[in-house]
Amino acid sequence: MTPKLDGKVALITGSGRGIGRAIALKLASEGARLVINDLDAAPAQETVDAIRAAGGQAVVCVGSVAAPDFADRFIGTAVNEYQGLDIIVNNAGYTWDSVIQKMTDEQWYAMIDCHLTAPFRILRAAQPVIRALSKSEAEAGQRAVRKVVNISSVAGLFGNAGQTNYSAAKAGIVGMTQTLAKEWGRMNVTVNCIAFGLIKTRLTGTAGEGTAIIDSREIKVGVNPGLLATMEQTIPLGRGGTPEEAAGAVYLFCIPESDYVSGQTLLCSGGLTGI
């Protein structure tokens, strides 16, 4: 049986680790050719190596999604390597929390830049490529449906204490999704959004006071074990999700069966419908 995404070109930000890596492996398993991105070269290359070892195709585009030149490099990598562009998943992200009276401008703009401005720039850079491909296909009597999947959060839908910056950015990506679904429908592009709840990754599932270096900033990561247990008790399924389960939700919007679904936000939260 032909893989559902056979030959499709998929670009995934933040795909060296965690949810992004799981998305990349899932799409590659269905025949997609990948452009893998991460802040750091090593995890990005590890994902590429895993895909190639399984018989798939993947290349690396390393760098911060918040860099002004990133979007053009990212889209250019897909065009130069594969001469196409079929799926874009705006996944890269992290949190930098504080109550509003203690939140700095730097914290605010870091979240807006990563979660909202970066997807905007990527999709802006992609539009001329998609338009040209769509026009060429129409002239040849062909029709191809392309996919954009943006990543939001339950915090973007319901808010979350200590996350004014993150919640605002994740709410913004929902609005961007709905707008581009209207603008890009004429090019046969579906634009949808996944709002994740608690997904256990190094940023959300690590106990203790660990840190990560993100855009030259040392950011605390991980959740206190007691708080994590309390959070999980509020989830109807009784647990946080795995990266593979998160990837499955993204996959639903990438396959042909969802070709007539656009402008939607899907909660992937184990049944959690508020915070």
Distance CA 219, CA 210 (A): 8
Query: Binning pLDDT at 50, 70 and 90, where does residue 223 land?
Result: low
Helix (H, G, I), strand (E, B) or coil at 120: helix
First to last CA, the chain: 42
Q: What is the mean pLDDT of residues 97-125?
A: 97
Which domains are seen in the chain, by residue range? 9-197+242-268 (3.40.50.720)
Tokens of 72: 């053009």
Query: Where do the H-state alpha helices sit in 140-257?
Result: 154-158, 164-184, 225-233, 243-254
> For residue 255, what pLDDT is reported?
98
Lowest mean pLDDT among 6-10, 85-89, 220-224, 256-260: 220-224
**Region for residue 55 given its phi and psi (left: phi exceeds 0; alpha: psi -120 to 50; beta: otherwise):** left
> For residue 139, what pLDDT is reported?
96
> For residue 19, what pLDDT is reported?
98
User: For 121-176, how does the pLDDT look when each residue is reduced to its tens digit (9 = 90+)?
Assistant: 999 999 999 999 999 999 999 999 999 999 999 999 999 999 999 999 999 999 99
Length of the chain: 275
For residue 64, give the nearest of 55, 74, 54 by alpha carbon: 74
Q: What is the mean pLDDT of residues 67-94?
A: 98
Residue 208 pLDDT > 60, yes or no?
no
**Pick the catalytic residue: 82, 94, 109, 166?**
166
> For residue 247, what pLDDT is reported?
98
Tokens of 224: 């206190």
Cα separations (Å) of 55 from 16, 33, 42, 263?
18, 11, 20, 34
Distance CA 53, CA 201 (A): 24
Query: What is the overall mean pLDDT for the chain?
Result: 94
DSSP state of 201: S
Distance CA 168, CA 124 (A): 21
> For residue 5, what pLDDT is reported?
98
Query: Binning pLDDT at 50, 70 and 90, where does residue 210 land?
Result: low
95 close to 104: Cβ distance less than 8 angstroms = no
166 included as an active-site residue: yes
User: For 5-57, how does the pLDDT look when each residue is reduced to its tens digit (9 = 90+)?
Assistant: 999 999 999 999 999 999 999 999 999 999 999 999 999 999 999 999 999 99
For residue 125, give the nearest of 170, 91, 77 by alpha carbon: 77
Query: pTM of the prediction?
Result: 0.94
Q: At what angle do helices 18-29 and 243-254 cross, to 10 degrees?
A: 50
- For the chain, give me the number of helices (H) and strands (E)? 9, 9
How far is CA 241 from its chain centroid?
Answer: 16
